[in-house]
Chains A and B, each alone.
Chain A
């Protein structure tokens, strides 16, 4: 009887992290844009007091 070599090594599922670098960059860009506009309007208000 032939012994069969078990070549099927148990497959480990490699879960790839999604690439979110671009998303992080755009979220932060939008965030800093909002903060920049808010602070500009606030300083305009202080300037006109």
Chain B
């Protein structure tokens, strides 16, 4: 089959980028263990309030400079909605929802999860900068969706 030289160039370019992207995806998933925030832990969405650690949501110290932040999302609030985190802390954030699908985005960070009923969404983040972060819901969840926010303060130890 006769093909124009230029056609060969862009086909090579296009198929080449496909393989580059597949390689990036493969290395991320299989070598570095990247996974979606909610793929392993399940929870009964009707019993979130009775299931540890969501029966006592909040910041828990789990080790030297390591913390767990457990948050319950429900229409239209996060519990707790004010959290103080010491600077430099490595925090594993676990979020569960009691009702519908919510979002969990910490503006200005890589923390951005979908919170689905029945699953616990987790993400580990180290907070190296002092400041205030706004948490907001970025999955439309109902009439009060735009009011669903929380605040995290990173403070000097």
Contacts of A28 in B (CB 8 A): 10, 13
Question: Contact between B110 and A24 (Cβ–Cβ < 8 Å)?
Answer: no
List residues 44-80 of chain B with CB under 8 A from any CB of chain A. none
The residue of chain A having its C-beta at the shortest distance from the C-beta of B125 within the complex is: A49
Q: How far is the CB of B24 from chain A (nearest CB, A)?
A: 9
Q: Which of B1-9, B114-122, B146-154 contacts A (4 or more CB under 8 A)?
A: B1-9
- Please classify the interface of chain B as helix (H, G, I), strand (E, B), loop, or mixed, using the class held by over half of its residues: helix
Across the A-B interface, how many residue pairs have beta carbons closer than 8 Å?
25
CB-contact partner of B6 in A21, A34, A45, under 8 A: A21
Question: Contact between A20 and B17 (Cβ–Cβ < 8 Å)?
Answer: no
Q: How far is the CB of A37 from chain B (nearest CB, A)?
A: 13
Number of interface residues of B (CB under 8 A): 11
Bound-complex Cα distance A3 to B91 (A): 101
Contacts of B10 in A (CB 8 A): 24, 27-28, 31
Among all A-B residue pairs, the 5 with the closest Cβ atoms: A24-B6, A20-B6, A27-B10, A48-B110, A48-B109
Q: Hey, which bits of chain B sit against chain A, CB under 8 A?
A: 4, 6-7, 9-10, 13-14, 17, 108-110
Q: Hey, which bits of chain A sit against chain B, CB under 8 A?
A: 17-18, 20-21, 23-24, 27-28, 31, 34-35, 45, 48-49
